[in-house]
Amino acid sequence: MAFHIIFAVYGIGLPLLMVIAEALWLKTEDRDYLDMARRWARATGVLFAIGAVSGTVIAFELGLLWPEFMKLAGPVIGMPFSMEGFAFFVEAIFLAVYLYAWDKVNPKAHWLSGIAVAISSVLSGIFVVDANSWMNSPRGLVLLDGTQSSVHPLLAMLNPFASTEIPHMVLAAYIAVGFSVAAIYAFSLLRTRAALGLARKAFVVSFAVAAWLSPVQLLSGDFSARAVGALQPEKLAAMESLFHTRSCAPEIIAGIPDVKTQTVRYGLPIPCGLSFLLKFNPNAVVEGLDAFAPPDRPNPLVVHLSFQLMLWCGFFFVFLAVWAVVVRLRRGALVSSRGLLAGTVAAGMLSLIAIEAGWFVTEVGRQPWVAYRLIRTAQAMTPATSVVMPSLVVFSLIYLFLAALVIWLLLGLASAAHPAQGEGTFGGHRDP
């Protein structure tokens, strides 16, 4: 998942950027925007293909390594996975149109095919995250003596976590892709001003998407944290390294949890901060890890550090957005600030780290359950433990091959000819 989620994120975010770029070309007839859309479309095609392969491997893993989980959960999560399959094929069809019909259809019709790609890609992500949100708050499955007595797939899809986890993940995808793409052009602008034309416009488009959504994501994260507090209190306790149930619970900034001493070293506590943020009452009682049996507690070291990493990355993105507004008001052009460009390069790397950290919070924070308070991870895995290590080796080799392949392909795209050397447009030159 740590490997595949990067491609899933780009599959959601890049189509939005290419559609925006083509819309700007249709409005302004500036060939730089057309070149931008074509390049981002080709990158989308490469990442879509690699993401499809890595996602297929995960489907094999579910059947091979988690048969007990699939036996129990298949009837309820089968619906969102099936709907994801429909969205995937719609995306594949319209992406083919978008990639190969530049000179064969009306420009506006071509742009509409890109919109279809952008919509189906985000729907694909929504359905997968919906299945994961069910794992965090299972609904629609009634067990009697450990076996299914009734199944309600629609109720499962409308589980309580879906309303916060889905928008948080979609926003994270757009922000991560926006900053990581902007970072490429920011790095180019820092190295040389010769690429000012296209690089400046590409930087502004991709940076604007990420910057505008960063404050929204901060608000989404606040709603998500409240949902975790209400639905998975032990996960929240691990996120905040709250070892003891108490009123006026502090919000701990940074720090390293020590499970043996049940303290947080090097942390900065804000008195009553957690109680206020969670329940708008500084004297509210917040459950700590001691409220749960030791076998039911997630690992606070991993969860807390991942949460802090994700949180501070989010604050940095908001800071960049505010900085950009100041630069725009004072200097007029975002690219005039080398500090902002350097910060964007850092944000490009941090945005992907934040995606991984957030996924660790979601998954490790749910442990020891694979479906929260329904089936434990140890119960869900395959009894054929002899296949675990060989499958790990084989799948790891596949992912290493895919990683090398995608790097090679993207480097090839990066070195492609500039439009001035003959790259095509509607009714004009063909691609070299």
pLDDT, tens only, 51-87? 888 888 888 888 888 988 988 888 888 899 999 999 9
Mean pLDDT of 201-225: 95
Return d(Cα 80, Cα 86) in angstroms, integer: 10
Range in 95-104, 261-270, 271-280, 381-390 the model is least confident about: 381-390
Domain of residue 416: give its range: 1-159+384-432
Residue 340 has pLDDT above 50, yes or no: yes
Domain membership of residue 201 (yes or no) is no
User: What is the per-residue pLDDT for 357?
Assistant: 96
User: What is the per-residue pLDDT for 384?
Assistant: 85
The DSSP element (H or E) to which 377 belongs, if any, is helix 377-380
User: What is the per-residue pLDDT for 193?
Assistant: 61
Model confidence at 162, in pLDDT bands (50, 70, 90)? very high
User: What is the per-residue pLDDT for 121?
Assistant: 94
| Residue 119: how many other CB atoms lie within 10 Å | 17
Give the global pTM. 0.91
Query: b/e for 280-315, b at 16 or more Cβ within 10 A?
Result: eeeebebbbbebbeeeebbbbebbbbbbbbbbebbe
User: What is the per-residue pLDDT for 194?
Assistant: 54
User: What is the per-residue pLDDT for 282?
Assistant: 93
Question: Does 368 sit behind a cis peptide bond, omega within 30 degrees of 0 on the bond before it?
Answer: yes
Domain membership of residue 175 (yes or no) is no
What tens digit of pLDDT does each residue of 174-206 get? 999 999 999 999 998 998 765 578 889 999 999
Residue 91 has pLDDT above 90, yes or no: yes
Helices (H), 232-299: 233-239, 273-279
Return d(Cα 429, Cα 270) in angstroms, integer: 62
User: What is the per-residue pLDDT for 60?
Assistant: 83
As for how many domains the chain has, the answer is 1
User: What is the per-residue pLDDT for 413?
Assistant: 82
Residue 29 has pLDDT above 80, yes or no: yes
Residue 429 has pLDDT above 70, yes or no: no
The DSSP element (H or E) to which 57 belongs, if any, is helix 31-65
226-229 contact pairs (CB < 8 A, 24+): 226/278, 227/160, 227/161, 227/163, 227/164, 227/165, 228/365, 229/278, 229/279, 229/286
Contact by Cβ (8 Å): 366, 136: yes
Domain membership of residue 79 (yes or no) is yes
Residue 299 has pLDDT above 60, yes or no: yes
Mean pLDDT of 402-417: 83
